[in-house]
Chains A and B, each alone.
Chain A
């Protein structure tokens, strides 16, 4: 229904057209190129392309470094820009002009050198900082550090001792060991000391120093008094910082060319993409042959394009036997946003139905139900419309949210949610009560039944889609045993449930829906269907006992009645999420109302709490509603019929990493 028909084509071209035709194909973005299986593994003609690719890739790296360098000086966007990377819109003329005339090498070279210089300066600063750390504790020392060395008769050492080992009696003990000691300073954990002892006493002194864990400080490379050294280090750090600043200022000058650099980046990337694409082709000395898939309805356009070249032509070819066409989803505009839901899960295979339009209504209704607040729906819808202007790339997703928000408004109005119970006691209360069907905060069980009922519809819908797919594929046996039998089992179980008191115990209905006469016939249908699943559930198994065992397994567990039970119950989450929104909104209103008692500032606090609280609640519930609604589609709905495993249609096309071409 909504998966595009594909035709396999082969394009032969003379190598003189290569550049231009490929570029044309890339702009057209209609051909999904497939790799041609080479007979001979080696191809002597590939080298020149390979070199070009390597050259372009290194150019791309330089451009990317430049981009990263300059990015720091671009004015930062708000939270939103951080959330979704923005692409710069550029007009076609600007793009072509930049590619032709902009001399980017000068800039990338300059930035490359700047980057090297900056990293040198960084290293130097690190070195200076670590020297600073060494010298700082010794500021109390008034002798130049080069004098701390062995003289003819004695040894002079500077070093630290951990405070744990340095007690009051230590000084006395040290002097007893024949060591002169001077305390220079102390920090939180360490004591900084100068010790002097006579050479004749060295052995004894050293062993004593080891005992108190004296660790010698090495001042090699330093000269002068510590205070002078520190001053010098500080001057040099200042110089390094100034120089860094200066270099960054130089780099900043190129910020004005940021957009041009992005264009060149994109242009380079486009060429690399083309060259990679042509590597999938077969080639002789003068010709290339490209194979690929094109959407059947765009085939003629593509053919005309190729035929406009003198030495190029396009032919339809037969796909290989086990070859599967790539999959592109094509839907009516209204259903397009829902393709996001399908794509997030995976690509359907070429032969099955595109689930996007099939899940659309359910998705919107469920999403709305998780929010169930008309006020929130309005805010969300406006927000989505506003963001569509700001983020053109996220438009499809925002439409999805917008449609969901519209349903939230409808469902919220029906269930009386307007920013929780914000209008309670005001004149609006009467109007909202008029439209309200029931209050979910009071009648939990009505909400609960509604959630289950909607779930029931979606599960049946999934089963019928599966049945349809079997019939469409002419797999009638499967259609009967996997489709009809299961529909019979679920239906008979439901009929039995509603004709006994059990449904009242489960709070499914206030009173019995069906007379007991339904019990017997539906029981018989159930038993017969169950038997069929037992016997034919594993039709392909030869061993009869194993076949019965597998059939039983199938009946109970493998997509059997217990998984259906789980599926039904899973839909109760809709009710829980709806209640969470309403409940927390009510709590926010209650808290806000408490502040109204405070004179003068009360009203200000009231408004602040309302605005912040409701925005927060809206955010958290939109997220929750979205992911839980997705789960219901994927786990409960898709499992009924979706196979997937298709390859996404990925035509040769322009990259749109940082920029996006404006429509003229």
Chain B
């Protein structure tokens, strides 16, 4: 295997791991939100924010993947390939795990909306707490890619 293959693996991982995490996270909160919505369709607005929140990790992964792609040249050495792969890991893994947990927090937030719609934003704030670590992962991935 040459460096290109390894680098592609890294770039792909950033996109698909964070993407899977976001998909699972939205899946969790989406089901909950649909349940709340069946009782009270007027809460769509507040629930909408909660449902899309775990989606951001997928985009962070996507961005990291694009940046890594920019580093891939036809004669990439094996070592540089590994470097790119490892640089992609922070957002790939932090994105994957945090999106799932954010989905759970958002689902709890959807329950909050069911009972106290006016407090929706507080549920959103808790979810943002979880997302912080995906943001930190993305920052490190970007910096590490800059060093390759």
The yes or no verdict on A and B being binding partners is yes
A575 interface contact, C-beta 8 A:
yes
Inter-chain contacts of B124 with A (CB < 8 A)? 627
A573 interface contact, C-beta 8 A:
yes
Closest to A343 in B: B121
Known: A344-B121, A573-B135, A576-B139. A587 touches B66 (CB 8 A): yes
Q: Mark A622-649, 1 if CB is under 8 A from B, else 0.
A: 0110011011001100000000000000
Inter-chain contacts of B136 with A (CB < 8 A)? 569, 572
Rounded to whole angstroms, the CA-CA distance of A628 and B56 in the bound complex is: 12
B52 interface contact, C-beta 8 A:
yes
Distance to closest chain B CB from A130 (angstroms): 23
B138 interface contact, C-beta 8 A:
yes
Closest to B141 in A: A576
Q: Kindly count the residue-residue contacts between A and B in the assembled complex, taking CB atoms under 8 Å apart.
A: 73
B112 interface contact, C-beta 8 A:
no
What are 29 of the A-B contact pairs (CB < 8 Å)?
A82-B45, A83-B44, A83-B48, A84-B45, A85-B45, A507-B143, A572-B136, A572-B139, A573-B132, A575-B139, A576-B60, A576-B135, A577-B135, A580-B63, A583-B67, A584-B59, A584-B62, A586-B66, A587-B62, A587-B63, A587-B66, A620-B56, A623-B49, A623-B53, A628-B128, A630-B121, A630-B128, A631-B129, A635-B129
Closest to A575 in B: B139
Rounded to whole angstroms, the CA-CA distance of A21 and B136 in the bound complex is: 59
Other-chain residue from A569, A570, A580 in contact with B60 (beta carbon distance below 8 A) = A580
Q: What bracket does the count of chain B residues touching chain A fall in?
A: 20 to 34
By the criterion CB–CB under 8 Å, are A634 and B44 in contact? no
Q: Mark B103-134, 1 if CB is under 8 A from A, else 0.
A: 00000000000000000011011001101100
B142 interface contact, C-beta 8 A:
yes
Closest to A577 in B: B135
Inter-chain contacts of B62 with A (CB < 8 A)? 584, 587
Rounded to whole angstroms, the CA-CA distance of A577 and B67 in the bound complex is: 15
By the criterion CB–CB under 8 Å, are B45 and A444 in contact? no
Other-chain residue from B44, B49, B63 in contact with A82 (beta carbon distance below 8 A) = B44
**In chain B between 24 and 54, which residues have their CB closer than 8 angstroms to a CB of chain A?**
42, 44-45, 48-49, 52-53
Rounded to whole angstroms, the CA-CA distance of A620 and B121 in the bound complex is: 17
**In chain B between 47 and 104, which residues have their CB closer than 8 angstroms to a CB of chain A?**
48-49, 52-53, 55-56, 59-60, 62-63, 66-67
> Which residue, of A507, A627, A630, has the highest number of chain B Cβ atoms within 10 A?
A627
Inter-chain contacts of B138 with A (CB < 8 A)? 576, 580
Distance to closest chain B CB from A655 (angstroms): 15
Inter-chain contacts of B121 with A (CB < 8 A)? 344, 630
Rounded to whole angstroms, the CA-CA distance of A507 and B121 in the bound complex is: 35
Closest to A617 in B: B59
Distance to closest chain B CB from A574 (angstroms): 10
**In chain A between 564 and 593, which residues have their CB closer than 8 angstroms to a CB of chain B?**
569-570, 572-573, 575-577, 579-580, 583-584, 586-587
By the criterion CB–CB under 8 Å, are B139 and A85 in contact? no
Distance to closest chain B CB from A305 (angstroms): 30
Known: A577-B135, A584-B59. A630 touches B49 (CB 8 A): no
By the criterion CB–CB under 8 Å, are A634 and B125 in contact? yes
Known: A83-B45, A579-B63, A580-B59. A627 touches B135 (CB 8 A): no
Rounded to whole angstroms, the CA-CA distance of A576 and B142 in the bound complex is: 9
- Write the residues of chain A forming the contact surface with B, with a CB cutoff of 8 angstroms: 82-85, 344, 444-445, 448, 507, 569-570, 572-573, 575-577, 579-580, 583-584, 586-587, 620, 623-624, 627-628, 630-631, 634-635
Rounded to whole angstroms, the CA-CA distance of A85 and B44 in the bound complex is: 9
B146 interface contact, C-beta 8 A:
yes
Inter-chain contacts of A579 with B (CB < 8 A)? 63, 142
Rounded to whole angstroms, the CA-CA distance of A623 and B46 in the bound complex is: 12
Rounded to whole angstroms, the CA-CA distance of A583 and B131 in the bound complex is: 19
Inter-chain contacts of A635 with B (CB < 8 A)? 129
Rounded to whole angstroms, the CA-CA distance of A623 and B131 in the bound complex is: 13
Distance to closest chain A CB from B38 (angstroms): 15
Rounded to whole angstroms, the CA-CA distance of A576 and B64 in the bound complex is: 11
> Which residue, of B55, B60, B129, has the highest number of chain A Cβ atoms within 10 A?
B60
By the criterion CB–CB under 8 Å, are A444 and B146 in contact? yes
Closest to B139 in A: A576
Rounded to whole angstroms, the CA-CA distance of A146 and B44 in the bound complex is: 53
Known: A576-B139, A579-B142. A631 touches B63 (CB 8 A): no
Given contacts A573-B139, A576-B135, A576-B138, 8 further A-B contacts (CB under 8 A): A344-B122, A444-B142, A573-B132, A580-B60, A623-B49, A623-B52, A627-B49, A631-B125
Inter-chain contacts of B42 with A (CB < 8 A)? 85
Inter-chain contacts of B56 with A (CB < 8 A)? 620, 624
Inter-chain contacts of A82 with B (CB < 8 A)? 44-45
Rounded to whole angstroms, the CA-CA distance of A583 and B67 in the bound complex is: 8
Other-chain residue from B48, B63, B129, B132 in contact with A584 (beta carbon distance below 8 A) = B63
Rounded to whole angstroms, the CA-CA distance of A285 and B58 in the bound complex is: 68
Inter-chain contacts of B45 with A (CB < 8 A)? 82-85
Rounded to whole angstroms, the CA-CA distance of A587 and B68 in the bound complex is: 12
Rounded to whole angstroms, the CA-CA distance of A510 and B67 in the bound complex is: 24
Inter-chain contacts of A572 with B (CB < 8 A)? 135-136, 139
Inter-chain contacts of A570 with B (CB < 8 A)? 132
Rounded to whole angstroms, the CA-CA distance of A83 and B42 in the bound complex is: 8
Distance to closest chain B CB from A8 (angstroms): 27
Rounded to whole angstroms, the CA-CA distance of A573 and B130 in the bound complex is: 13
Rounded to whole angstroms, the CA-CA distance of A540 and B60 in the bound complex is: 47
Closest to B120 in A: A344
Rounded to whole angstroms, the CA-CA distance of A584 and B60 in the bound complex is: 9
> Which residue, of B44, B55, B135, has the highest number of chain A Cβ atoms within 10 A?
B135
Distance to closest chain B CB from A628 (angstroms): 6
Inter-chain contacts of A634 with B (CB < 8 A)? 125
Rounded to whole angstroms, the CA-CA distance of A630 and B129 in the bound complex is: 11
Inter-chain contacts of A577 with B (CB < 8 A)? 135
By the criterion CB–CB under 8 Å, are A620 and B129 in contact? no
By the criterion CB–CB under 8 Å, are B135 and A620 in contact? no
Rounded to whole angstroms, the CA-CA distance of A570 and B129 in the bound complex is: 11
Inter-chain contacts of A445 with B (CB < 8 A)? 146
Distance to closest chain B CB from A319 (angstroms): 27
Inter-chain contacts of B131 with A (CB < 8 A)? 628
Inter-chain contacts of A620 with B (CB < 8 A)? 52, 55-56, 59
Inter-chain contacts of B66 with A (CB < 8 A)? 583-584, 586-587
Inter-chain contacts of A623 with B (CB < 8 A)? 49, 52-53
Rounded to whole angstroms, the CA-CA distance of A86 and B48 in the bound complex is: 17
Inter-chain contacts of B48 with A (CB < 8 A)? 83
Rounded to whole angstroms, the CA-CA distance of A572 and B140 in the bound complex is: 11
